[in-house]
Amino acid sequence: MGRISFSCLFPASWHFSLSSQVLPRLLIPSLRQLLLISFVIFLIGLVYLVLVAEKGHTSWIKRDSHFHRHLARVTDVDATDTSNPNLNYGLVVDCGSSGSRVFVYCWPRHNGDPHELLDIRQMRDQHRKPVVMKIKPGISELAKTPEKASDYIYPLLSFAAQNIPKNKHQETPLYILCTAGMRILPESQQEALLEDLRTDIPVHFNFLFSDSHVEVISGKQEGVYAWIGINFVLGRFNHVHNSKDSAVTEDGEAVVEVHVPGSDQQEALMRKRTAGVLDMGGVSTQIAYEVPKTVSFASSQQEEVAKNLLAEFNLGCDAHRTEHVYRVYVSTFLGFGGNAARQRYEDSLISNTAARNKLLGQHIGETPESPLLDPCLPTDLQDEIGLTQKLYLRGTGDFDQCRQILQPFLNRTNETQTSLSGIYQPAIDYSNSQFYGFSEFYYCTEDVLRMGGDYNASKYGQAAKGYCATQWKTLKERFDSGLYASHADLHRLKYQCFKSAWMHEVLHSGFSFPTNYKNLKTALLVYDKEVQWTLGAILYRTRFLPLRDIQWESLKGAHSHWRHSFSFVNNHYLFLACFFIVMLSIMLYLLRLRRIHRRAAQRCTPSSVPWLEAGLGSPTLPINL
């Protein structure tokens, strides 16, 4: 069959020929048909893509949900699983006056709720013992050789480094916080010691450590940290929505109405009632409690003093939210601890007795045969006090008289809203408050009297009165028979009467707790574990980490979602991409063919018009043989 050249339809550069059967117009689609074909292809591809992507997304969500449900939690007694990549770690070194201790803490990844705090617990070794190490003496002993500070601290940090996975070191915050021993040093000596630590520690350890992570903290800071630690363990920071008409939360916890400091909220916030802290050591006594409402001051001078005693802080991870904003009163009274108070009392006995003997020409207390009668010692107990000037005592065991003698040592004033030494103390709502008494508050009630726990002033007074009045010989026999606490010693036995009276007066005359107050619990442990102020310190200092982690997890989650989805459906995307490219190429070719056809039609039509008008037939076309 002959072939016809369509030179008027195609450019000369196109070196091909078509069949003598002209390509039917049906094969050259119209624009409407092209759009319809494109839409159908796009719709099919979109449906297919959505189905596949949804399948991948659902699969990823299931895996992610499964992961979060099985996210390891840190328990109180189990050994810490150091192989768990989702655990974070933190270190706090408590540089005290007699020694230094490093505490290793750990917590699981934050759950993403900005209302909740980190779930920080003490790390435990394979024997389920807390990871803690102590060294002696205190760092303040190096005041004259500050260049040895980093060598002194090295064993503690080396111990911690061995317990924390190496790949976690660079993200583990380290805080070195010094307390009373360092506070009494001159500032120049303090700074020299701290500077040596700041310089040398980063050389030997790659913990997350900056200059601000080592400092001498104030007694106020230490008190706030202790308050935070105890209330954290008690679960008082786990807030839920509470009705203003409800006196308790859904889990039975008492609530309190709080006017948040610095908040623009007109309506008061209802949240769990926090516990106050009473702590009497050997040298000092401390009180800390939340002040839920705005306080008023009797004078401008009192207001100025209050600024140094009231701490306002946000424990939450978001500084713009107020659920975890607290106003806490903290006051520390040096010389009001049990041993320091006894020393002040004995010094007073020595000076007063010497003055009276000199005035009256007596010799009371100068020999064992003529002892000074002391109502604060058990009956018939003989004691000897004073170093350069000896004074001999014999106990009369009169608890009530001892209390009266001790009242001047409280240094109370007649000013309103004051406590020991006339220090400002904001009002306590005794009808809706709770306190925990530690150290001497517990030893005084438990070691000998065996009344630790819920405090009852009347029962405590009767028990203390009976103990003081008991003959020393009888008390000694009871001690030898093991009737008292295992850690009670003869020193406790001798001064139990005095300390019982001192604790009673500090609590009821100094801090003005009513004698019918029922919400004081004396304790050595909280939930069977010792609570150190270091727990509160790391909780406070890492409070913004959850928000950072939440933001990081959001970005990481979005990236992970894309990555998981892509890894699941990447073959389908590749197939669809190739499919669309092929279909697009076909459509572009058809469009090109259609444009060429139109151009050719426009060229050929004018020359054929005269033939039609003249009634002539088509011109003879050359035949290619």
Hey, what's the torsion of the CAs at 165, 168, 169, 173, to 10 degrees?
-120
Per DSSP, what are the bridge partners of residue 314?
325
For residue 550, pLDDT beyond 80: no
- In this structure, of 48-57, 157-166, 172-181, 351-360, the range with the lowest mean pLDDT score is 48-57
**What is the separation, in whole angstroms, between the first and last Cα of the chain?**
10
- Residue 288 phi/psi, 5° resolution? -145, 130
pLDDT band at 145 (very low <50, low <70, confident <90, very high): very high
Instruction: Report how far residue 335's alpha carbon sits from residue 143's, in angstroms, rounded to the nearest whole number.
Output: 24
Number of C-beta neighbours around residue 602 at 10 A: 9
Tell me the mean pLDDT in the region 517-523: 96
Residue 92 labeled ligand binder? no
Which pLDDT score is estimated for 244? 56
Q: Which residue has the higher pLDDT, 440 or 619?
A: 440
Distance CA 121, CA 570 (A): 43
Q: Is the pLDDT of residue 544 over 50?
A: yes
**Would the annotation count 283 as a binding residue?**
yes
Neighbours of 269 (CB within 10 A): 19
| Cβ contacts of 256 within 8 Å, gap of 6 or more | 270, 271, 272, 273, 274, 290, 292, 429, 432
Contact in structure between 115 and 269 (CB atoms under 8 Å): no
Segments of 513-593 assigned E as strands? 520-522
Q: What is the DSSP string of 62-80?
A: HHHHHHHHTPPPPPSSSPP
pLDDT in tens, 368-421: 999 999 999 999 999 999 988 899 999 999 999 999 999 999 999 888 889 999
Q: Would strands 214-216 and 174-178 be described as parallel, antiparallel, or unpaired?
A: parallel
- Pick the catalytic residue from 116, 171, 222, 250: 222
Bond preceding residue 137 cis, omega within 30 of 0: yes
Strand ranges, E, within 4-68: none
Query: Average of pLDDT values for 42-47?
Result: 64
Residue 246 annotated as binding site: no
Q: What is the mean pLDDT of residues 521-545?
A: 90
So what's the pLDDT on residue 613? 35
Tell me what pLDDT residue 351 has. Answer: 95
Any binding-site annotation on 437?
no
Confidence of residue 67 (pLDDT cuts 50, 70, 90): very low
Amino acid found at 197: L
C-alpha triplet 89, 93, 96: angle, nearest 5°: 155
pLDDT at 21 over 50: no
**Which is higher by pLDDT, 332 or 61?**
332
| Token pair recorded at residue 459 | 């029962």
pLDDT reading at 55 higher than 50: no
Look at residues 183, 259, 187 and name the one whose alpha carbon lies nearest to residue 221. 183
The pLDDT value recorded for residue 18 is 39
Q: Which of 90-104, 470-484, 575-589 has the lowest mean pLDDT?
A: 575-589
Residue type, 31: L
Question: Is residue 151 very low, low, confident or very high in pLDDT (cuts 50, 70, 90)?
Answer: very high
Q: Would you call 222 a catalytic residue per the annotation?
A: yes
82 vs 89: CA distance, rounded Å:
10
Residue 275: phi and psi, rounded to 5, are -100, 140
* Alpha helices (H) in 236-337, listed in sequence order: 300-309
Question: If phi over 0 gives left and psi between -120 and 50 gives alpha, with beta otherwise, what is residue 29?
Answer: beta
Give 332's strand partners: 286
Least confident stretch, 69-83, 156-170, 216-230, 409-423 = 69-83
Domains of the chain as residue ranges with CATH: 1-70+550-625 (no CATH), 73-216 (3.30.420.40)
Does the annotation list 286 as a binding residue? yes
Q: Has residue 13 got a pLDDT over 80? A: no
Residue 608 dihedral angles phi and psi, to the nearest 5°: -90, -15
